[in-house]
Amino acid sequence: MTTTIPDINKIERRWLLIDAKDQVLGRLAGRIATILRGKHKATYTPFLDTGDFVVVINAEQIAVTGQKLTQKTYQRYSGYPAGRRTRTLAEVLKRQPEVALRQAVKGMMPDGPLARRMLGKLKIYAGPTHPHAAQQPQPVSQAVLGRRDTHA
């Protein structure tokens, strides 16, 4: 038996449009990470970028469960003494809702240069409009996002 490896120049990439309105943050991030990696395709190869482009709109209307708005924190450190800055999820969603979703997706991707290249195919916008109309992104229905791929 032989294993076929897809030709990186012949991989078909689609543009998908996801509406994040009333979607749970972690569940949506998991679905997006799967699409970016290409795991939803039959040609998935772990060491190649076989995924599709993802355009996410309405990131400001994303939903979170439990007490995450007040308990979940985002930290960054400038490298200077007393340079650590901490913000809650509520503050991040108020100022930059794209950052919360991008960090959630990044946390579900593997580490390394391949994942950084895959994250470059993720386009997130706070409002309902996006500048990618020329690429004609295909809308992904809520049923597809919530569906589990089972091989029964």
Q: Residues 6 or more apart from 33 whose CB is under 8 A from it?
A: 105, 108, 109
Q: Are the C-beta atoms of 49 and 88 separated by less than 8 Å?
A: no
Cross-strand bridge partners of residue 123 = 55
Tell me how far apart the alpha carbons of residues 58 and 146 are, in angstroms, rounded to a whole number. Answer: 18
pLDDT digits (tens, 9 = 90+) for 60-111: 999 999 999 999 999 999 999 999 999 999 999 999 999 999 999 999 999 9
Residue 15: count other Cβ atoms within 10 Å of its Cβ: 16
CA distance 55 to 129: 10
The 10s digit of each residue's pLDDT in 105-150 is: 999 999 999 999 999 999 999 999 999 999 999 999 765 665 554 4
Query: Any idea where the domains of the chain sit in the sequence?
Result: 14-64+97-128
Whole-model pTM: value is 0.88
Cβ pair 89, 64 in contact under 8 A: yes
- Would you state the CATH architecture of domain 14-64+97-128? Alpha-Beta Complex (3.90)
